[in-house]
Structure formats: structure tokens, C-alpha cells
Structure 1
Amino acid sequence: MTDSITLYAFFGDAERAFTLTDPMIAELERLTDLGVGAIYLKLVNHAHPAKLLKDIIRLGLIGAGTAPEEAAQLCAAYAENRPLAEVFPLAFDILEARWNGVDESETLEDVARNAEADFERFVGAAA
């Protein structure tokens, strides 16, 4: 059961589910040649390649049931050539959901408020 690690968030044109299942974590580790802990630390420390953000989003979509082709198309449309400050919060939240789980009592308004706060922290840290 993946409910405790599935993040629901708005991406592109709709709210979508994102889950980094064990096979998706293995693929992310294969793509980066890093363990999941090292990947997490790279994100926390803003020491990651830009491509990692898109890979996390794409694999999160696939892990939640989106067809791989559709996940790639969504990322091409909504994660490529966008400001990193827009893409980072979602990628981080997807990995954070797998790392710490999600709070099932959290409402969509809570999710939106937390995403906005994450974005503000990220922008403030980058300044």
C-alpha cells in the first residue's frame, strides 16, 4: 500500500498523484548513480543537477500510475524550461513524501499552503 508515500499536488493542468515506489527509487538511483540518501542530501543542500528535478517528477508520476509516455510529455510541457524555483518545490515534496511519508489528515489547502511556504523558503535561501 502506497497511501502513506503518495503525494497529491497540482502539476501542469491538474492535481496529480506522485509516488516514488521501490522500482522508481531504484531507477532514480540508476540514473544518478547515487543512493536515495545522497539524492535527498543533494536536494536539501541545493547541490543537485537541474535534470534531477525533472527525473523525480517523472518517476513520481509513473510510480503513481501515469503511463511513462504521458509522464514524459507532462514533464516536457510543465517542468522543462521553467524556472527552477517553480520545479524544485514539487520535486522536493515528492522525495520528501517517500522519505517521511505524508500526513493523511492534511487537507488540500494545507498542501497548497505548505508548498507556498516551501517555495518562499527556497527563493529566500537562493537570494
Structure 2
Amino acid sequence: MSDATTHRAFFGDAEYAFRLTPPLIIELERLTGMGIGGFCQRLFAMDFRHADMLATIRLALIGGGMAHGDADRLVRTYAADHPIMHAYPLAVDILDRLWGGPPAVETDEPKDETQEVAEPQPEAQVEVFDPPADDDHARSLRNGYGA
């Protein structure tokens, strides 16, 4: 299983591996009736069918190593009858990982040793504003009741 296109996420009751292998991409294309590029564009633009979003998650669970029946049961239990915005981010993350690979890892080390490090600036002193005590006239003017 390639870590480059495997997405790990909590879904329903535990954390699972999600991966769309080449044969599963072909199956997703067959189910959606479009190529993977067009399907990704449509899903990312929130222009998709509910069944296509569910198929993405189910097939990715299978590609992550889960048995077909278990993947189907998880999707029916934790996605099919739930608000779309619970499952949509997972489908996007699965396809985003397929499309672009793993996210870039940021390090604390500078990328270029010739970069200058900015001198730390002293923190600005913050003055506490203590408003004067309110009187009825000032309060009514501030709230727009009176002139």
C-alpha cells in the first residue's frame, strides 16, 4: 500500500486507511460515468451526486485494506443517512491525497542558509483604556438616542 496516496482519518468508530488504487479508480470512473479528473473537479466544486461521494469513501476503504462488506456497512452506517457535510470533507481529502500526494511537511529549519533572520522586536506596550464613568446623556448619545 502506497503511503503517497493513502489518507488516514477517523470515520464513524475508528481511524481507517483510505486509498484509491488504480483498479478502484477505474471502478469509481465506471460508477460515476466520468474520468477521475472531471470527477475530482466536480466534487471539489461541490457539484456531485450523493451516491458518488459515498462510492468514493467506500472504494477508498476497500483500497485501504478493508473487506468489501465491512466498507459497505461503515458507509451505510456513518455516511449514507447523515448530513452531507459530515462525509463530504472525507471524500475531498481522499481525492486530494490521490491528486496531490501527501501534504508538504514543514520543518523548523530554514530552507536557505543565506536568509537573514529578523531581529526580534520588543513587544509594544499596550495602554489600558479606562473610559470615564457613563452618565445618562453620554450613553444616550452613544446609542443614538438624542442629539
Q: Rg bigger for which structure?
A: 2
In structure 1, the residue matched to 2:85 is 85
Q: Relative to structure 1, is the Cα distance of residues 52 and 2 closer, same or farther in structure 2, using a 3 angstrom cutoff?
A: same
Asked whether the equivalents of residues 4 and 103 of structure 1 are also in contact (C-alpha less than 8 Å), the reply is no
Structure 1 residues not aligned, in runs of 5+ = 107-127
CA RMSD of aligned residues (A): 1.4
Contact 1:40 1:95 in 2 (8 A): yes
Q: Which has the higher helix share?
A: 1
Aligned structure 1 segments of 4 or more residues deviating by more than 6 angstroms: none
How many Å apart are 1:104 and its aligned residue?
A: 7.3
TM norm structure 2 = 0.69
5 Å matches for 1:1-127? Answer: 1-103=1-103, 105=105
Q: Which structure would you say has the larger RCO, counting Cα contacts within 8 Å and 6 or more residues apart?
A: 1
User: What is the aligned residue count?
Assistant: 106
1:10/1:104 CA distance change after superposition, 3 Å:
farther
In the alignment, structure 2 segments of 5+ residues that lack a partner are 107-147
Q: Cα offset for 1:50?
A: 1.0
Query: Identity over the aligned pairs, expressed in percent?
Result: 44
TM (norm. structure 1) is: 0.79
